C-alpha cells in the first residue's frame, strides 16, 4: 500500500444493459492483485486426483476484496483502487449473465485473444461452506476464484514456462473517491477520474 495516495472504490452497474462491467479476463505476467493462479500439471496432480497437464487447466484468484491496487496513469498520476465483496459478487454474476466466459486475452491486449474458457467460478464464503482453494487459504472470504481451460497451444506454453502467472480482470468501472491526499486538489482528483474513464473507453472491445 502506498501512503498518502488518493484511494478510489471501484464499482459497476448491476443493470445487465449497462457496459460498466468486467467483460474479459487476461493472462498476465504480474497480476494486479499480487497473487498468481495455480497451474495444474502432472507434478501437481497428486493433490487433484483427475487433473493432469493434458487438461490445460489453471485455477486461481481473479479478484480479492478490499485489496489496495496501485495504479499509475500515463501522465504519471498515482492512486490506489479497491473492490468490495458486494462489488465482486455483482461483477462475477454479470460476467456470466452476459456470456463473457470465453473472453480471454494476453496482457490486456484485445488484439491477442486467447482460445480459452472460464468454466469454473466461485466466491469463497466459509459461512456458507464455500471454501477457498487450498493453495490460497490466506485470502479473505469474498475472493473470486476462476478456473480456465486453455485451448491455445501458444498460451499454454507460456503458462508452463512461467510467462503467465495469473489472471487480471478488465472492464469499465465507476470510481468513488474514498481518501484524498492532502496534496491533491479537487481539480486533480477529477482529472484522475476523467483520464481513467477515457482510458477504459479506449479499451472497450
Whether 2 maps to a domain, the answer reads no
Q: Mean pLDDT for the chain?
A: 82
The total number of structural domains that make up the chain: 1
d(CA 121, CA 152): 20
d(CA 6, CA 73): 13
Q: Where in the sequence is the domain holding 110, given as residue range(s)?
A: 7-203
Whether 75 maps to a domain, the answer reads yes
Residue 113, helix vs strand vs coil = strand
Whether 1 maps to a domain, the answer reads no
- Could you tell me the pLDDT band of residue 130, with boundaries at 50, 70 and 90? very high
Whether 88 maps to a domain, the answer reads yes
Contacts of 173 (CB under 8 A, 6+ apart): 10, 11, 12, 20, 200
Whether 16 maps to a domain, the answer reads yes
d(CA 191, CA 201): 15
Residue 168, helix vs strand vs coil = strand
DSSP type of residue 128: G
Q: pLDDT per residue over 27-50, tens digit each?
A: 988 888 887 777 654 333 222 222
Whether 26 maps to a domain, the answer reads yes
The grid coordinates of residue 26 equal 487476461
The neighbouring-strand residues paired with 63 are 144
Q: pLDDT per residue over 67-105, tens digit each?
A: 999 988 888 889 999 999 999 999 999 999 999 999 999
Residue linked to cell 462489488: 87
Residue linked to cell 498515482: 78
- Could you tell me the pLDDT band of residue 181, with boundaries at 50, 70 and 90? very low
* Contact between residue 160 and residue 39 where contact means Cβ atoms under 8 Å apart: yes
The grid coordinates of residue 73 equal 496513469
Helix (H) or strand (E) holding 201: helix 186-203
Q: Indicate yes or no: pTM above 0.75.
A: yes
Q: How many residues does the chain have?
A: 205
Cα–Cα nearest to 152, from 121, 205, 96, 106 = 106
Amino acid at each position: 500500500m502506498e501512503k498518502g495516495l488518493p484511494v478510489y472504490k471501484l464499482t459497476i452497474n448491476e443493470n445487465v444493459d449497462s457496459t460498466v462491467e468486467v467483460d474479459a479476463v487476461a493472462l498476465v505476467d504480474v497480476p494486479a492483485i499480487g497473487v498468481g493462479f495455480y497451474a495444474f500439471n502432472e507434478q501437481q496432480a497428486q493433490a487433484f486426483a483427475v487433473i493432469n497437464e493434458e487438461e490445460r487447466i489453471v485455477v486461481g484468484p481473479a479478484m480479492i476484496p478490499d485489496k489496495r491496487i496501485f495504479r499509475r496513469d500515463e501522465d504519471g498520476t498515482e492512486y490506489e483502487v479497491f473492490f468490495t465483496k458486494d462489488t465482486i459478487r455483482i461483477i462475477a454474476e454479470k460476467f456470466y449473465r452476459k456470456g463473457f466466459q470465453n473472453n480471454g486475452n494476453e496482457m490486456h491486449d484485445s488484439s491477442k485473444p486467447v482460445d480459452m474458457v472460464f468454466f469454473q467460478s466461485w466466491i469463497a464464503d466459509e459461512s456458507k461452506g464455500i471454501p477457498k482453494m487450498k493453495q490460497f487459504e490466506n485470502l479473505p472470504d469474498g475472493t473470486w476464484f476462476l478456473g480456465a481451460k486453455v485451448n491455445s497451444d501458444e498460451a499454454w506454453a507460456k503458462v508452463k514456462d512461467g510467462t503467465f502467472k495469473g489472471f487480471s480482470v478488465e472492464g469499465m468501472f465507476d470510481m468513488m473517491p474514498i481518501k484524498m491526499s492532502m496534496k491533491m486538489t479537487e481539480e486533480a482528483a477529477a482529472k484522475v477520474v476523467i483520464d481513467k474513464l477515457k482510458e477504459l473507453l479506449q479499451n472497450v472491445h
